[in-house]
Structure 1
Amino acid sequence: MKKQFKNIVNLLFKTPVIIGVLMFFASCENDIKKVQELTAKQDSAIVSARNIEMYYTTNGINNILMKAPLLNRYVQDKGKSQLEFPEGMDLTFYNQEGSITSTIRADYSIYYEDEGRWIAKFNVVATNEKGETLNTEYLIWLQNEKKIMSDQFVKINTADGIFYGDGFESDQTFSSWELVNMRGTINIQENE
Protein backbone atom coordinates (compact mmCIF):
# COMPACT_ATOMS: atom_id res chain seq x y z
CA MET A 1 0.00 0.00 0.00
CA LYS A 2 2.86 2.33 0.87
CA LYS A 3 4.50 1.63 -2.51
CA GLN A 4 1.20 2.25 -4.30
CA PHE A 5 0.77 5.58 -2.47
CA LYS A 6 4.34 6.57 -3.38
CA ASN A 7 3.67 5.79 -7.08
CA ILE A 8 0.46 7.88 -7.03
CA VAL A 9 2.28 10.84 -5.41
CA ASN A 10 5.14 10.55 -7.94
CA LEU A 11 2.62 10.42 -10.77
CA LEU A 12 0.73 13.47 -9.46
CA PHE A 13 3.91 15.56 -9.20
CA LYS A 14 5.78 14.35 -12.28
CA THR A 15 2.86 14.46 -14.73
CA PRO A 16 2.28 18.27 -14.55
CA VAL A 17 6.02 18.89 -14.82
CA ILE A 18 6.33 16.62 -17.87
CA ILE A 19 3.24 18.20 -19.50
CA GLY A 20 4.62 21.69 -18.79
CA VAL A 21 8.00 20.88 -20.34
CA LEU A 22 6.34 19.35 -23.42
CA MET A 23 4.08 22.39 -23.85
CA PHE A 24 7.05 24.72 -23.49
CA PHE A 25 9.02 22.99 -26.24
CA ALA A 26 5.96 22.62 -28.46
CA SER A 27 5.25 26.36 -28.25
CA CYS A 28 8.78 27.43 -29.25
CA GLU A 29 9.10 28.63 -32.81
CA ASN A 30 12.38 29.59 -34.44
CA ASP A 31 11.47 31.46 -37.58
CA ILE A 32 14.92 32.59 -38.74
CA LYS A 33 13.48 35.56 -40.66
CA LYS A 34 11.68 36.88 -37.59
CA VAL A 35 14.75 36.46 -35.43
CA GLN A 36 16.89 38.34 -37.97
CA GLU A 37 14.33 41.16 -38.26
CA LEU A 38 14.21 41.58 -34.51
CA THR A 39 17.96 41.58 -34.08
CA ALA A 40 18.58 43.84 -37.10
CA LYS A 41 16.49 46.70 -35.72
CA GLN A 42 18.16 49.09 -33.32
CA ASP A 43 15.26 50.49 -31.31
CA SER A 44 17.27 51.82 -28.42
CA ALA A 45 19.92 54.48 -28.62
CA ILE A 46 23.52 53.43 -28.06
CA VAL A 47 24.30 56.95 -26.82
CA SER A 48 21.91 59.44 -25.27
CA ALA A 49 22.84 62.91 -24.01
CA ARG A 50 20.94 65.86 -22.57
CA ASN A 51 21.53 69.62 -22.96
CA ILE A 52 24.33 69.29 -25.47
CA GLU A 53 26.40 71.92 -27.25
CA MET A 54 28.60 70.77 -30.12
CA TYR A 55 30.94 72.88 -32.23
CA TYR A 56 31.90 71.90 -35.77
CA THR A 57 35.24 73.42 -36.68
CA THR A 58 37.36 73.76 -39.79
CA ASN A 59 41.07 74.54 -39.32
CA GLY A 60 40.41 75.53 -35.71
CA ILE A 61 37.64 77.98 -36.59
CA ASN A 62 34.13 77.38 -35.25
CA ASN A 63 31.79 77.09 -38.23
CA ILE A 64 28.66 75.73 -36.60
CA LEU A 65 27.29 75.56 -33.08
CA MET A 66 24.60 72.97 -32.46
CA LYS A 67 22.49 72.97 -29.30
CA ALA A 68 19.88 70.38 -28.38
CA PRO A 69 17.99 69.37 -25.25
CA LEU A 70 18.28 65.66 -26.16
CA LEU A 71 20.47 63.70 -28.58
CA ASN A 72 20.08 59.98 -29.31
CA ARG A 73 22.62 58.12 -31.45
CA TYR A 74 21.57 54.94 -33.24
CA VAL A 75 23.55 52.46 -35.31
CA GLN A 76 21.57 50.77 -38.07
CA ASP A 77 22.47 47.72 -40.14
CA LYS A 78 25.79 47.85 -41.98
CA GLY A 79 27.17 50.21 -39.32
CA LYS A 80 25.35 53.32 -40.56
CA SER A 81 24.67 55.73 -37.75
CA GLN A 82 22.27 58.56 -37.19
CA LEU A 83 21.77 61.26 -34.59
CA GLU A 84 18.20 62.02 -33.59
CA PHE A 85 17.10 65.20 -31.85
CA PRO A 86 13.55 64.34 -30.73
CA GLU A 87 13.14 67.51 -28.65
CA GLY A 88 14.48 69.85 -31.33
CA MET A 89 17.77 71.54 -32.10
CA ASP A 90 19.30 74.92 -32.88
CA LEU A 91 22.11 75.43 -35.41
CA THR A 92 24.14 78.64 -35.60
CA PHE A 93 26.45 79.21 -38.58
CA TYR A 94 29.52 81.45 -38.32
CA ASN A 95 31.78 83.08 -40.91
CA GLN A 96 35.61 83.16 -40.77
CA GLU A 97 35.56 86.20 -38.48
CA GLY A 98 33.25 84.48 -35.98
CA SER A 99 30.13 86.51 -36.81
CA ILE A 100 26.77 84.75 -37.07
CA THR A 101 25.65 84.34 -40.68
CA SER A 102 22.50 82.27 -40.20
CA THR A 103 20.52 80.08 -37.82
CA ILE A 104 18.20 77.11 -38.16
CA ARG A 105 15.92 75.77 -35.45
CA ALA A 106 13.38 72.94 -35.52
CA ASP A 107 11.23 70.94 -33.10
CA TYR A 108 12.65 67.66 -34.46
CA SER A 109 15.75 66.74 -36.43
CA ILE A 110 17.69 63.71 -37.57
CA TYR A 111 21.23 63.60 -38.97
CA TYR A 112 22.46 60.75 -41.16
CA GLU A 113 26.18 60.85 -40.40
CA ASP A 114 27.35 58.70 -43.32
CA GLU A 115 25.52 60.87 -45.86
CA GLY A 116 26.09 64.27 -44.22
CA ARG A 117 22.32 64.87 -44.50
CA TRP A 118 20.17 66.61 -41.92
CA ILE A 119 16.38 66.58 -41.92
CA ALA A 120 14.59 69.16 -39.79
CA LYS A 121 10.85 68.94 -39.19
CA PHE A 122 8.06 70.81 -37.45
CA ASN A 123 8.21 74.57 -36.89
CA VAL A 124 11.46 74.98 -38.82
CA VAL A 125 12.75 78.56 -38.76
CA ALA A 126 15.86 79.77 -40.58
CA THR A 127 17.26 83.31 -40.44
CA ASN A 128 20.13 85.02 -42.22
CA GLU A 129 22.30 88.06 -41.53
CA LYS A 130 20.03 90.24 -43.72
CA GLY A 131 17.18 89.61 -41.27
CA GLU A 132 15.25 87.37 -43.67
CA THR A 133 13.27 84.57 -42.04
CA LEU A 134 12.17 81.28 -43.56
CA ASN A 135 9.32 79.21 -42.07
CA THR A 136 8.51 75.66 -43.14
CA GLU A 137 7.60 72.27 -41.70
CA TYR A 138 10.37 70.37 -43.52
CA LEU A 139 13.96 71.26 -44.39
CA ILE A 140 16.92 69.27 -45.70
CA TRP A 141 20.50 70.40 -45.14
CA LEU A 142 23.10 68.67 -47.30
CA GLN A 143 26.15 69.40 -45.18
CA ASN A 144 28.78 68.25 -47.71
CA GLU A 145 27.20 70.30 -50.51
CA LYS A 146 26.56 73.27 -48.17
CA LYS A 147 22.93 73.52 -49.35
CA ILE A 148 19.56 73.74 -47.64
CA MET A 149 16.30 72.94 -49.40
CA SER A 150 12.69 71.88 -49.05
CA ASP A 151 10.06 70.39 -51.34
CA GLN A 152 7.21 71.59 -49.12
CA PHE A 153 5.44 74.89 -48.49
CA VAL A 154 7.75 77.71 -47.36
CA LYS A 155 7.25 81.32 -46.31
CA ILE A 156 10.05 83.88 -46.40
CA ASN A 157 9.79 87.30 -44.73
CA THR A 158 12.15 89.96 -46.08
CA ALA A 159 12.41 93.74 -45.84
CA ASP A 160 10.84 93.84 -49.33
CA GLY A 161 7.83 91.66 -48.56
CA ILE A 162 6.48 88.22 -47.79
CA PHE A 163 7.06 85.43 -50.28
CA TYR A 164 5.59 81.93 -50.48
CA GLY A 165 6.67 78.86 -52.40
CA ASP A 166 6.11 75.14 -52.81
CA GLY A 167 9.77 74.49 -52.08
CA PHE A 168 13.08 76.31 -52.13
CA GLU A 169 16.82 75.91 -52.43
CA SER A 170 19.61 77.97 -50.89
CA ASP A 171 23.22 77.94 -49.79
CA GLN A 172 23.60 76.83 -46.16
CA THR A 173 23.91 80.43 -44.95
CA PHE A 174 20.46 81.18 -46.43
CA SER A 175 21.91 84.29 -48.12
CA SER A 176 21.09 83.35 -51.73
CA TRP A 177 17.77 81.53 -52.17
CA GLU A 178 15.25 80.57 -54.85
CA LEU A 179 11.59 79.63 -54.37
CA VAL A 180 9.59 77.07 -56.37
CA ASN A 181 6.24 78.48 -57.65
CA MET A 182 6.94 81.82 -55.97
CA ARG A 183 4.12 84.16 -55.02
CA GLY A 184 3.83 86.91 -52.44
CA THR A 185 3.42 90.51 -51.48
CA ILE A 186 6.04 93.16 -52.23
CA ASN A 187 6.33 96.30 -50.11
CA ILE A 188 6.49 99.48 -52.21
CA GLN A 189 7.34 102.86 -50.72
CA GLU A 190 5.50 105.84 -52.14
CA ASN A 191 7.52 108.95 -53.01
CA GLU A 192 6.08 112.20 -51.70
Structure 2
Amino acid sequence: MRKFITYTYKNIVIAFALTMFFSCKNNFKEVQKIGISENEPIGVAENIHLKYTDSGKVKAILKSAKMLDYANRKFPYNEFLDGVNLELFEDGKKSVIVSDYAIIYSKTDIIDLQGNVKITTHSNDTLYAEQLYFDQATEWVFTNKPVKFRTGQDLIHGNGFDSNKGFTNAEVLEITGIITLKE
Protein backbone atom coordinates (compact mmCIF):
# COMPACT_ATOMS: atom_id res chain seq x y z
CA MET A 1 0.00 0.00 0.00
CA ARG A 2 2.82 2.35 0.87
CA LYS A 3 4.43 1.60 -2.49
CA PHE A 4 1.20 2.42 -4.28
CA ILE A 5 0.93 5.83 -2.54
CA THR A 6 4.59 6.66 -3.31
CA TYR A 7 4.08 5.56 -6.92
CA THR A 8 0.94 7.74 -7.21
CA TYR A 9 2.70 10.80 -5.74
CA LYS A 10 5.63 10.35 -8.14
CA ASN A 11 3.24 10.18 -11.09
CA ILE A 12 1.39 13.30 -9.92
CA VAL A 13 4.68 15.21 -9.48
CA ILE A 14 5.93 14.10 -12.92
CA ALA A 15 2.62 15.03 -14.57
CA PHE A 16 2.68 18.44 -12.85
CA ALA A 17 6.35 19.05 -13.88
CA LEU A 18 5.64 18.08 -17.50
CA THR A 19 2.61 20.36 -17.57
CA MET A 20 4.67 23.25 -16.23
CA PHE A 21 7.52 22.51 -18.67
CA PHE A 22 5.31 22.45 -21.78
CA SER A 23 3.17 25.39 -20.73
CA CYS A 24 6.19 27.71 -20.68
CA LYS A 25 6.93 29.62 -23.85
CA ASN A 26 9.67 31.94 -24.98
CA ASN A 27 8.12 35.41 -24.77
CA PHE A 28 11.29 37.44 -24.26
CA LYS A 29 10.25 39.92 -26.99
CA GLU A 30 6.92 40.49 -25.25
CA VAL A 31 8.65 41.03 -21.91
CA GLN A 32 10.94 43.62 -23.54
CA LYS A 33 7.88 45.53 -24.79
CA ILE A 34 6.39 45.89 -21.29
CA GLY A 35 6.16 49.57 -20.51
CA ILE A 36 6.49 50.61 -24.17
CA SER A 37 3.31 51.73 -25.88
CA GLU A 38 3.07 50.96 -29.60
CA ASN A 39 1.79 54.50 -30.11
CA GLU A 40 4.94 56.01 -28.64
CA PRO A 41 8.28 56.20 -30.47
CA ILE A 42 11.02 53.89 -29.33
CA GLY A 43 13.51 56.73 -29.67
CA VAL A 44 13.67 60.51 -30.06
CA ALA A 45 16.62 62.43 -31.51
CA GLU A 46 16.92 66.22 -31.36
CA ASN A 47 19.19 68.66 -33.20
CA ILE A 48 20.47 66.05 -35.65
CA HIS A 49 23.60 66.81 -37.64
CA LEU A 50 24.49 63.51 -39.28
CA LYS A 51 27.39 63.08 -41.70
CA TYR A 52 27.46 59.99 -43.92
CA THR A 53 30.87 59.07 -45.27
CA ASP A 54 32.05 56.42 -47.69
CA SER A 55 35.74 55.68 -48.27
CA GLY A 56 36.71 58.76 -46.28
CA LYS A 57 34.57 61.13 -48.35
CA VAL A 58 31.48 62.93 -47.07
CA LYS A 59 28.52 61.73 -49.18
CA ALA A 60 25.62 63.34 -47.29
CA ILE A 61 24.87 65.70 -44.42
CA LEU A 62 21.44 65.46 -42.77
CA LYS A 63 20.18 68.22 -40.48
CA SER A 64 16.89 68.13 -38.62
CA ALA A 65 15.49 69.55 -35.40
CA LYS A 66 13.73 66.34 -34.31
CA MET A 67 13.35 62.71 -35.40
CA LEU A 68 10.98 60.11 -33.94
CA ASP A 69 11.90 56.43 -34.37
CA TYR A 70 8.96 54.04 -34.65
CA ALA A 71 11.01 50.87 -35.23
CA ASN A 72 8.76 49.10 -32.69
CA ARG A 73 5.82 49.03 -35.12
CA LYS A 74 4.83 46.27 -37.53
CA PHE A 75 5.51 48.74 -40.36
CA PRO A 76 8.54 50.64 -38.98
CA TYR A 77 9.35 54.23 -39.93
CA ASN A 78 11.28 57.34 -38.89
CA GLU A 79 9.45 60.66 -38.77
CA PHE A 80 11.02 64.12 -39.07
CA LEU A 81 8.34 66.44 -37.70
CA ASP A 82 10.27 69.68 -38.13
CA GLY A 83 11.54 68.88 -41.61
CA VAL A 84 14.91 68.04 -43.08
CA ASN A 85 17.81 69.72 -44.80
CA LEU A 86 19.86 67.18 -46.74
CA GLU A 87 23.06 68.00 -48.61
CA LEU A 88 24.25 65.34 -51.07
CA PHE A 89 27.78 65.25 -52.48
CA GLU A 90 28.80 63.35 -55.60
CA ASP A 91 32.09 63.90 -57.44
CA GLY A 92 32.59 67.22 -55.66
CA LYS A 93 29.14 68.47 -56.70
CA LYS A 94 26.52 69.42 -54.13
CA SER A 95 22.73 69.03 -54.31
CA VAL A 96 20.34 70.19 -51.56
CA ILE A 97 16.94 68.81 -50.51
CA VAL A 98 14.73 70.76 -48.08
CA SER A 99 11.22 69.95 -46.81
CA ASP A 100 8.95 70.87 -43.88
CA TYR A 101 8.23 67.23 -43.00
CA ALA A 102 9.67 63.84 -43.92
CA ILE A 103 9.00 60.21 -43.19
CA ILE A 104 11.18 57.22 -44.09
CA TYR A 105 9.58 53.78 -44.37
CA SER A 106 12.33 51.23 -43.77
CA LYS A 107 10.50 48.15 -45.08
CA THR A 108 9.73 49.70 -48.48
CA ASP A 109 12.74 52.07 -48.76
CA ILE A 110 10.39 54.95 -49.60
CA ILE A 111 11.06 58.49 -48.40
CA ASP A 112 8.02 60.80 -48.32
CA LEU A 113 8.87 64.52 -48.32
CA GLN A 114 6.01 66.94 -47.62
CA GLY A 115 5.48 70.69 -47.36
CA ASN A 116 7.53 73.19 -49.37
CA VAL A 117 9.79 70.55 -50.88
CA LYS A 118 12.70 72.07 -52.76
CA ILE A 119 15.44 70.16 -54.54
CA THR A 120 18.36 72.12 -55.98
CA THR A 121 20.83 70.09 -58.04
CA HIS A 122 24.50 70.83 -58.57
CA SER A 123 23.64 72.21 -62.05
CA ASN A 124 21.12 74.66 -60.49
CA ASP A 125 18.03 72.79 -61.70
CA THR A 126 15.36 73.35 -59.05
CA LEU A 127 12.21 71.38 -58.32
CA TYR A 128 9.43 72.78 -56.11
CA ALA A 129 6.63 70.50 -54.88
CA GLU A 130 4.21 70.09 -51.98
CA GLN A 131 4.89 66.35 -51.80
CA LEU A 132 7.59 64.21 -53.33
CA TYR A 133 8.56 60.55 -53.01
CA PHE A 134 11.99 58.97 -53.39
CA ASP A 135 12.30 55.22 -53.90
CA GLN A 136 15.74 54.34 -52.55
CA ALA A 137 15.75 50.86 -54.13
CA THR A 138 15.25 52.15 -57.70
CA GLU A 139 16.70 55.63 -57.00
CA TRP A 140 13.58 57.22 -58.52
CA VAL A 141 11.91 60.57 -57.64
CA PHE A 142 8.18 60.97 -58.33
CA THR A 143 4.94 62.73 -57.42
CA ASN A 144 1.42 63.22 -58.76
CA LYS A 145 1.01 66.60 -57.05
CA PRO A 146 1.57 70.03 -58.68
CA VAL A 147 5.22 70.92 -59.30
CA LYS A 148 7.40 73.71 -60.66
CA PHE A 149 10.63 72.70 -62.34
CA ARG A 150 13.27 75.28 -63.21
CA THR A 151 15.94 74.12 -65.59
CA GLY A 152 18.22 76.75 -67.14
CA GLN A 153 15.99 79.64 -68.24
CA ASP A 154 12.82 77.52 -68.39
CA LEU A 155 10.19 77.27 -65.66
CA ILE A 156 7.76 74.41 -66.22
CA HIS A 157 4.55 73.89 -64.22
CA GLY A 158 2.84 70.52 -64.11
CA ASN A 159 0.75 68.02 -62.19
CA GLY A 160 3.36 65.36 -61.63
CA PHE A 161 7.03 64.58 -61.91
CA ASP A 162 9.22 61.55 -62.69
CA SER A 163 12.99 61.35 -62.71
CA ASN A 164 16.05 59.38 -61.78
CA LYS A 165 18.00 60.70 -58.81
CA GLY A 166 20.41 62.69 -60.99
CA PHE A 167 17.59 64.47 -62.87
CA THR A 168 19.19 63.43 -66.18
CA ASN A 169 15.83 62.24 -67.55
CA ALA A 170 13.44 64.49 -65.59
CA GLU A 171 9.90 64.65 -66.90
CA VAL A 172 7.16 67.04 -65.79
CA LEU A 173 3.77 65.38 -66.24
CA GLU A 174 0.56 67.13 -67.36
CA ILE A 175 2.31 70.40 -68.18
CA THR A 176 0.24 73.53 -67.47
CA GLY A 177 0.75 77.26 -68.14
CA ILE A 178 2.54 79.12 -70.92
CA ILE A 179 5.26 77.21 -72.69
CA THR A 180 7.91 78.73 -74.94
CA LEU A 181 9.16 76.46 -77.70
CA LYS A 182 12.32 77.00 -79.77
CA GLU A 183 11.81 76.41 -83.48
Q: TM-score, normalised by structure 1?
A: 0.68
Letter in 2 for 1:153: P
Q: Deviations over 1:141-162 (max 9, x none)?
A: 1112111111110011232221
Q: Deviations over 1:4-27 (max 9, x none)?
A: xxxxxxxxxxxxxxxxxxxxxxxx
What is the CA deviation profile of residues 94-133 of structure 1, one whole-angstrom value per residue up to 9, with x for unaligned ones?
A: 11x3431x22110000001122110000111111122121
**Structure 1 50/175 Cα, relative in aligned 2: closer, same or farther at 3 Å?**
farther
Aligned to 2:48: 52
Which residue pairs with 1:146 in the alignment? 139
Count of aligned residue pairs for this structure pair: 148
- Identify the residue that residue 91 of structure 1 maps to in structure 2: 86
Listed as ranges, the matches of 1:39-118 within 5 Å are: 42-78=38-74, 80-95=75-90, 97-100=91-94, 102-118=95-111
Between the aligned residues of both structures, percent identity stands at 27
Contact 1:126 1:174 in 2 (8 A): no
C-alpha distance 185-58 of structure 1, shift in aligned 2 (>3 A)? farther
Distance 1:116 1:128, change over 3 A: same
**Aligned-partner Cα distance in 2 for 1:181–1:156:** 13
- Tell me whether 1:168 sits opposite 2:161 in the alignment: yes
- Other-structure match for 2:120: 127
CA 119–174 in structure 1, closer or farther in 2 if over 3 Å, else same:
same
- Flag the structure with larger Rg: 1
| Structure 1 residues 60 and 180: alpha-carbon distance in aligned structure 2, compared to 1, 3 A threshold | same
Contact 1:161 1:184 (8 Å CA) reproduced: no
What is the CA–CA distance in structure 1 between the aligned matches of 2:125 and 2:177, rounded to whole Å? 14
Q: Cα 1:60–1:142, aligned 2, differ >3 Å: closer, same or farther?
A: farther
Counterpart-to-counterpart distance in 1, 2:79 and 2:165: 20
Select between 179-188 and 109-118 the one with higher mean Cα deviation: 179-188
Deviation at 1:188, TM superposition (A): 8.3
Query: Do the aligned partners of residues 124 and 156 (structure 1) sit closer, same or farther apart at CA in structure 2, a change above 3 Å counting?
Result: same
Q: What runs of 5+ residues in structure 2 fail to find an aligned partner?
A: 1-34
Mapped to 2, the partners of 1:165 and 1:133 lie a distance apart of: 14
Q: Which has the larger share of helix?
A: 1
| 2:42–2:72 contact (8 Å) kept in structure 1 | no
**Alpha-carbon separation, structure 1, partners of 2:71 and 2:180:** 49
Contact 1:42–1:75, Cα closer than 8 Å, also in 2: no
Gaps of 5+ in 1: 1-38
